[in-house]
């Protein structure tokens, strides 16, 4: 069972693939809805909407990266690439940033987590017998 508060509000520990995909889908959906509906007053409301979205995304990404045995700081590269290519790619740098997103999808959304306990905690899918 997923603790939704911890999913979006803490960056420590590990996160399995399914809760990650659900959390990422929720955040992308909320960001897309805001982009669609908030376009007219975006310059004002963005200051209140984007920080919580980025914080939640950082927490979700960090925990999933931890499950893969990587530092949560890689979340910064993923979020930077996502912001850069949110609109249709327009220049060669956007193609490179799109490759970062492809890596993130494969690394975080397709591949399984590390077996057993790693430096970030126990495997979220199964407890390891001592």
* pTM score, whole prediction: 0.84
Helices (H), 1-130: 4-9, 17-37, 42-67, 74-84, 92-104
Domain that holds residue 23: 4-110
Inside any domain, residue 71: yes
Nearest residue to 88 (alpha-carbon basis) of 78, 79, 97: 97
Name the phi and psi angles at 59, rounded to 5: -65, -45
Note the pLDDT tens digit of each residue in 57-82.
999 999 999 999 999 999 999 999 98
Inside any domain, residue 119: no
Note the pLDDT tens digit of each residue in 11-52.
988 998 999 999 999 999 998 888 888 667 777 788 888 899
Number of domains in the chain: 1
């Amino acid at each position: 069972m997923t603790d939704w508060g911890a999913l979006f509000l803490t960056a420590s520990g590990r996160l399995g693939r399914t809760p990650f995909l659900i959390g990422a889908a929720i955040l992308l959906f909320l960001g897309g809805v805001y982009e669609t509906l908030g376009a007219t007053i975006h310059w004002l409301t963005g200051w209140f909407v984007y920080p919580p979205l980025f914080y939640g995304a950082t927490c979700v990404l960090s925990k999933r990266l931890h499950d893969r045995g990587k530092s949560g700081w890689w979340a910064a590269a993923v979020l930077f690439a996502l912001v850069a290519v949110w609109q249709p790619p327009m220049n060669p740098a956007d193609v490179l940033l799109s490759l970062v997103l492809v890596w993130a999808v494969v690394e975080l959304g397709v591949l399984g987590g590390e077996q057993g306990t790693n430096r970030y905690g126990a495997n979220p899918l199964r407890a390891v017998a001592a």
